[in-house]
């Protein structure tokens, strides 16, 4: 039994000695900065801007219709019967709700489209980061935008330029 423990201890110490010979290498990156520099993202932003403008134009038309109905109601309110007034108010509330629903739905659709179009770009960035990490034998790579580092040694390597080179970004 003593031989077993001796062999186990010897094995653990030898593994520790091998690991101690390899320096731990850390890197950091600002993914948001690289993402903004990617040409693919600029194309996505252009496409989303077009869709946003279409929805904005439709919303503006709906708001103008609502304002027109409100002005007409205010001008006619004194001459309307209580039943007619109630009906007009109901129509105004329904149209107002329709405008609000369209706005919320438009925002959700644009967000979903943005997520759909950006997903492959983000995957491409993540793949480049992994490749740089593997090629550079980094133990960890920290995302600098997600937290404020307490300490950033000069020995920490900014892998941003390496990832940009991997993606072909100047």
Tell the residue number behind the tokens 């390496």, with chain if given. 162
Residues sharing a CB contact under 8 Å with residue 113, sequence separation 6 or more, in sequence order: 48, 51
The CATH code of the domain that includes 135 is: 3.30.910.20
pLDDT in tens, 56-106: 999 999 999 999 999 999 999 889 899 999 999 999 999 999 999 999 999
Whether this model's pTM surpasses 0.85: no
85 located within any domain: yes
Question: Is 114 a member of any domain?
Answer: yes
Q: What is the pLDDT of residue 8?
A: 44
Token digits of residue 3: 């031989």
Question: What residue ranges of the chain have pLDDT lower than 70?
Answer: 1-22, 147-154
| 49 belongs to a structural domain | yes
Contact by Cβ (8 Å): 95, 66: yes
Domains of the chain: total: 1
């Amino acid at each position: 039994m003593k031989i077993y423990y001796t062999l186990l201890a010897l094995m653990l110490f030898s593994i520790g000695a091998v690991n101690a010979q390899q320096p731990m290498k850390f890197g950091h990156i600002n993914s948001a900065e690289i993402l903004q520099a990617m040409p693919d993202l600029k194309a996505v932003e252009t496409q989303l801007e077009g869709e946003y403008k279409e929805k904005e134009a439709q919303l503006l038309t709906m708001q103008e219709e609502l304002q027109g109905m409100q002005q007409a109601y205010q001008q006619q309110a004194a001459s309307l019967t209580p039943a007619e007034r109630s009906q007009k108010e109901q129509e105004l509330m329904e149209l107002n709700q329709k405008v609000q629903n369209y706005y919320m739905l438009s925002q959700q659709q644009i967000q979903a489209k943005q997520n759909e179009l950006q997903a492959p770009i983000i995957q491409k960035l993540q793949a480049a980061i992994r490749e740089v990490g593997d090629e550079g034998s980094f133990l960890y790579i920290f995302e600098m935008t997600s937290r404020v580092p307490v300490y950033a040694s000069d020995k920490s390597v900014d892998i941003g330029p390496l990832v940009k080179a991997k993606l072909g970004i100047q």
